[in-house]
Structure 1
Amino acid sequence: MPEQQKTPDDNNEIRYEETQTLIPKLRRVHVAAALVWLGRGAQDMQACPIASLFYGFCFAAMGLSVSAVFEHAYQYTSALTSGFLLLGPFFAMGLYELSRRREKGEGCRFASSLTIWRRNASNIGVFALVLTVVFLVWARASLVMFALFYTNEMPNLSGFLNQVIKLENIEFVAVYIGVGLIFAALVFAISVVAIPMMLDRRADAITSMFTSVAVVAANPAAMLVWAFLIVALTLIGFLTFHIGLIFLMPMIGHGTWHAYRALVEPDNQNRSSTNG
């Protein structure tokens, strides 16, 4: 029940205003809940195939562009591929909207998914700026690690992969993965339900990020499974010459909306039914 605060009005009378807490009420979910979210994401993709696959092709095109442009500079490719994961929640907004509309029984309107960012543009912009800063810091850290461990001459791509497979530079691999996990955990914690919440409730960026962190803290096992599935499916998408991204990324995007619905209690004064 929201707290009530007494405030004087212009006639020196007393009236009551409802004040909301910073973090909405959260739910605890089963450790295997992520599988349910993926299943529902697959159902949304089947119900909205054209719009969903459009976003899938966009993700695949991004992956192909990274591979094509930086084919001979893998030290950049690794950072940009990680950035692909960091910025994924921002690019999946259209998928969240498709799931929201299907949940409301409004059908799949592709056009509205393209402009959904207008519903809360300022706060989504703040959040995008935060993710961009994190991505730039990670990209710089990645280059620094390559520079520290390869002080003479950078090996070519095949030589580098050969070293990794044969564990000839295990110190670099351990440090690189360790630092990467720190950045990945940070981004996952602040973003797991942030954008869906900003779109659904028009919440501010700070509240949405704090809520995401609280969700992870309340459901560490389930969130670990969800993070593993996101990374595993994305990796499968890249290993299938980006073809898998066409189908797997929309499934993850739709599933993220269902994760938000399962983890955060609905707002009684929800305004998500109005078009932004």
Structure 2
Amino acid sequence: MSGVAPMQALTESAQKGKAKTVKHTPNVKRKQHSRSKPGKREQVTFDEDARKEYLTGFQKRKQQRRKVAHEQAQLKIRDELRKSRMAAVEMRKKQAAENVRAEKLALGIASDEENEEQEPLQEEHDFENEERRAHVTVQEFDLDTDWSAPLPKIPSLPPSSRRVAKKEQSVRTSLKRAEKPRINASKLSGSLTGILEPDVAEAARADKLFKDDPVLAMPTHKKRPFSYSTAAERAQERFKQGKRNHLAAEARREENRKRVKGGKKKRTERANK
């Protein structure tokens, strides 16, 4: 650069004389996946049976879901019914106990304090599931009691106020029915004319009620009694009927011939006169 002018160093001739510098990069081998080695590539296989079942089983799966939902709903309904029955049983027991306590108070058998202090000797519970029902009685354990002996029968309680009221209502209803006036059978004289108005009763007693009505007064055809006959009997009956018809037709033709002859004879007599 010292022997070359400053401006000449920028010319093409000066630049051509310079040697180009090339950067050498280290040899880096790239990893290449060999396609010849088996097991390296992932393969996707389809189960044709499972695929076919999935593609054709939409309606079946829908029906199964509906069936499961219906069964669950039925279980819920049964559970609710069981709970409602248990609640009704408990309510009836409480109501019966209240009725007994009220009747005892009315009769002066026991007081409120005695009923409150007295504890129940035994408790009854009802258990129910889908298959069976169970009635369980819980009572105090006594060592002196012979448990092999049969349990004593529970004494019948006095009737509740509801039953008493219902019985009284039925008695009052029967008394009201007994007080109603009865219709005299002699006035009926075997028909309903006894309780009808006089004009209507007279019309009902008439022998020919619809005599003047031409439509209602038409005679009714008497039904022939049904009788079963065989094929041979029916054929014989048809033959006899045809023979009778033939004889009747011959008689009509003979009568017509006589009538025609008589008419001709009368005309000839008139012509001769």
How would you bin the TM-score normalised by the shorter chain? under 0.3
Q: Does 1 or 2 have the higher relative contact order (CA < 8 Å, sep 6+)?
A: 1
Answer with 1 or 2: which has the greater Rg: 2
**TM-score computed with the length of structure 1 as normaliser:** 0.21
Q: TM-score, normalised by structure 2?
A: 0.21
